[in-house]
Amino acid sequence: MLQRKNSRSHIFLLFLFLLIVLGVSFVGRIYAFAPVKIMDASMTPKFKEQSTHWMCKLPQCLAQVKDQDVVWLTLKSGETMVRRVLAMPGDSIEITDKGRVRTPHRNFTWKGEDAFIQSKTIYIPKAGDTLYFDKLNEVEQDYILTYLHTHGEKIAVKSSLWQGDREINIDRVGATKIANRQVSLKEVDFLPWQDRYLIELQIRQAEPGNAPIKIKRELFRLKPAKLELSPPPSAMDTTAEDKDTVKVDSSKAAKADSTQKDSVAAKPAEPEPEQYLDEPLNMIVIEEDCYYMTCLKGSSCSDSREMGYFTHKDIIGLYMEWPDRFKAKVINPILHYTNLAIDYALALLAPEEEPNKEESKEVPNNNATSNE
């Protein structure tokens, strides 16, 4: 029996078994599971900052994502984050200015929520939905613009200012302020809905009449970019052959600059913004299921409130709870009692300190001395 255990075949089989176990662990670590470290306090108290948790990357796990699940997300910038699913594709949720949240699955109060300065109802689109831009509220419009941008759509927004059914000059926006700075007309098209709401309130206080003030937006496709001609070289560096080429290539530019012959560096007139706009884009077809992801902590956290909808392709991992349970119920108690045993053993092995002879001397009895 002893000879069999020490045989070369037995050692080879043991080595092969360990090699297989190591290979399976390596493959599982790369393709199936991943430890993810939480880098901030946005998911407290469930996930502490700098804590590590395991995520399942298998397609079987990602296909089972449901409400309240914690998922691992990837951003277009390449960064990743861990967030919770608040709403599923096809859900309608309501978030009030008091932090109360209503979903088809549950109602609760979101402590610390400060992004919604006005109560809004939000629809979470699913694959195949057809949305109409002019029928969406301000929050949904912001989210759809982000969705189109991340899917490579070349779009432009044109804003107009209305008081009831009457259109007023959009230049009125330039007299308002946000965070103690003047609002520029160039930025009003893509300001977040909270800033546009504050602009509407300021104009409403200044404009006479009872009709509400509303900034309406229209969505357009952008025209394909045209190939721009490179500027002609200077006369001193141009040969006779090059001059003929420049004359042919820049004939249109010469006509446009005929009124600026005496100018050394004539700048071509910039086209009006409307010249870049193509056909209006009002009907939008959603190609992927969308989710509404949030932090567990309401304030100072980036999630769907700021970045809009996340799609199923953005989910790269599903949080597995059993490793944390196993760690809390098995590994942590073992480590705790092991440390206690080590401390106890070290205390037994430590040499006892001899009492100080000077401190051990008896103190003379003052009372007895005085009686004598």
Which residues share a beta bridge with 291? 310
Share above pLDDT 90 across residues of the chain, in percent, rounded to a whole number: 50
Residue 361, pLDDT score: 52
**Residues 285 and 119 sit within 8 Å (Cβ to Cβ):** no
CA atoms within 13 A on the CB side of 103: 20
Single pTM value for the model: 0.72
Residue 162 has phi, psi (to 5 degrees) of -130, 140
In terms of Cα–Cα distance, which of 296, 290, 334 is closest to 93? Answer: 290
User: 3-state DSSP helix/strand/coil percent for the chain, to nearest 5?
Assistant: 40, 25, 40
User: What's the N-to-C CA distance of the chain in angstroms?
Assistant: 89
Q: How far does Cα 307 stand from its chain's mean position?
A: 6
pLDDT of residue 300: 75
Share of the chain above pLDDT 70, in %: 72
DSSP-derived 3-state class of residue 347:
helix
The residues with which 334 forms a beta bridge, in sequence order, are none
One-letter amino acid at 199 equals I
Q: Could you read off the pLDDT of 26-70 as tens digits, one per residue?
A: 545 555 889 999 988 889 888 988 899 999 999 999 999 999 999
Between helix 193-206 and helix 138-150 the angle, nearest 10°, is 140
Picking from 29-33, 61-65, 130-134, 307-311, which range would have the lowest pLDDT averaged per residue? 29-33
